[in-house]
Amino acid sequence: YPAGSQQDGETSLQELAALCETAGARVLEGLLQRRPYPDPATYLGRGKAGELAEIVAETGADTVVADTELAPSQRRALEDVVKVKVIDRTAVILDIFSQHAKSREGKAQVELAQLSYLLPRLRGWGDSMSRQAGGQVGSAGAGMGSRGPGETKIELDRRRIHTRMAKLRREIAGMKTARDTKRARRDRNAVPAVAIAGYTNAGKSSLLNRITRAGVLVENQLFATLDATVRRTETPDGRPYTMADTVGFVRNLPHQLVEAFRSTLEEVADADVLVHVVDAAHPDPAGQIQTVREVIGEIDSRHIPELIVFNKADLIDRDTEIALRGLEPDAVFVSARTGRGIDELLDRIAELLPIAEIEVDLVVP
């Protein structure tokens, strides 16, 4: 990584690991290297690339993920050394977006982002290794980074990709109006919906599992393209609601992915309560909270009641907790790991949920 401290590098790698797990892969090993600029040939440089090849051989890894964008030639050179598929951070993020996109607009936005990522890389894509690695959609890990535009689309020439992109842009422009109308019609008697938002690695999916006691995360990841991220649960007094994990915020999101990211946040726009999960042990929780709130405002969701949840409370000391309480006096402190605070969280969610109109009818004579 060219700029930043050792800690920035480690934080970024932790986030990348969480992203890979979200995409359905199992992370075996991390390798951090400090150098003033990436090696133009192999990204890591000869020595470190050799070290990586040994790690790959020892662990039996089938994919290497680089934390920054790779030039096509760097990717090929690194593949030649490590002998397995090499992808970059952007490819992993696109993969997650494609799993999360549900609406027609979300899917179109993600395809648009995938095509614009693919376009400058067309030349480097044709080697036999990527061809073998691609297409195994659904097999956790092995397909990561190659979901999305499939073999036939990859072989389209640039002109056809441009035509497709223009068509998608026109369709998206048309769908924006349809979405506004749909939102105005939202069914008030539907089961209330809670959306969990926050940065990747904050512990959103751990918390969802803890809350809904589903505990079947591993199996669910295989079906991530189905709707594994929405669970049904109920309040302590028995009122049902749904809880959805939304696609995580990531640091330094590549510019071309911003629109696709927003379109996958639709669960937030349709939610009755927003559970905003923050990693209490992160070096800059205030900055993260602010960024999430800005984006929530931009997708017209500022009116949704928000509950700040500081997770990983088991990792922080007393002084940090006091400082965070000063920052967000109404926040709940929890640990998805130890279970601390989960009951309080469930009570606070229950307080914020709208009361269904039918219940109101019963209490008014």
Interface with ligand GDP (CB under 6 A): 18, 21-22, 200-206, 248, 311-312, 314-315, 335-337
Q: Which is nearer to ligand GDP, 301 or 335 (CB)?
A: 335
Q: Which is nearer to ligand GDP, 74 or 335 (CB)?
A: 335
Here the tokens at position 354 are 């709208």
Q: Which is nearer to ligand GDP, 239 or 337 (CB)?
A: 337
| Shortest reach from residue 245's CB to ligand GDP, in Å | 7
260 exposed, middle or buried (CB, 10 Å; 0-12, 13-18, 19+)? buried
Q: Which is nearer to ligand GDP, 27 or 122 (CB)?
A: 27
User: In angstroms, rounded to a whole number, what is the distance separating the alpha carbons of residues 60 and 84?
Assistant: 10
Here the tokens at position 308 are 């700040």
Q: Which is nearer to ligand GDP, 105 or 245 (CB)?
A: 245
Helix 104-118 × helix 89-100 angle, to 10°: 160
| Cβ-proximal residue to ligand GDP, closest one | 203
| Sign of the torsion angle spanned by Cα atoms 336, 342, 346, 351 | negative
Here the tokens at position 66 are 């680089």
User: In angstroms, rounded to a whole number, what is the distance separating the alpha carbons of residues 58 and 56?
Assistant: 6
Q: Which is nearer to ligand GDP, 18 or 87 (CB)?
A: 18
User: Where on the phi/psi map is residue 141: left (φ > 0), alpha (ψ -120 to 50), or beta?
Assistant: left
| Shortest reach from residue 22's CB to ligand GDP, in Å | 6
| Shortest reach from residue 146's CB to ligand GDP, in Å | 22
| Sign of the torsion angle spanned by Cα atoms 151, 154, 160, 162 | positive
| Shortest reach from residue 209's CB to ligand GDP, in Å | 8
| Shortest reach from residue 358's CB to ligand GDP, in Å | 34
| Sign of the torsion angle spanned by Cα atoms 5, 323, 288, 103 | positive
Instruction: Identify the bridge partners of residue 231 per DSSP, sorted by sequence position.
Output: 243
| Shortest reach from residue 30's CB to ligand GDP, in Å | 12
Q: Which is nearer to ligand GDP, 43 or 333 (CB)?
A: 333
| Shortest reach from residue 313's CB to ligand GDP, in Å | 7
Specify whether the CB–CB gap between 64 and 78 falls below 8 A. Answer: yes
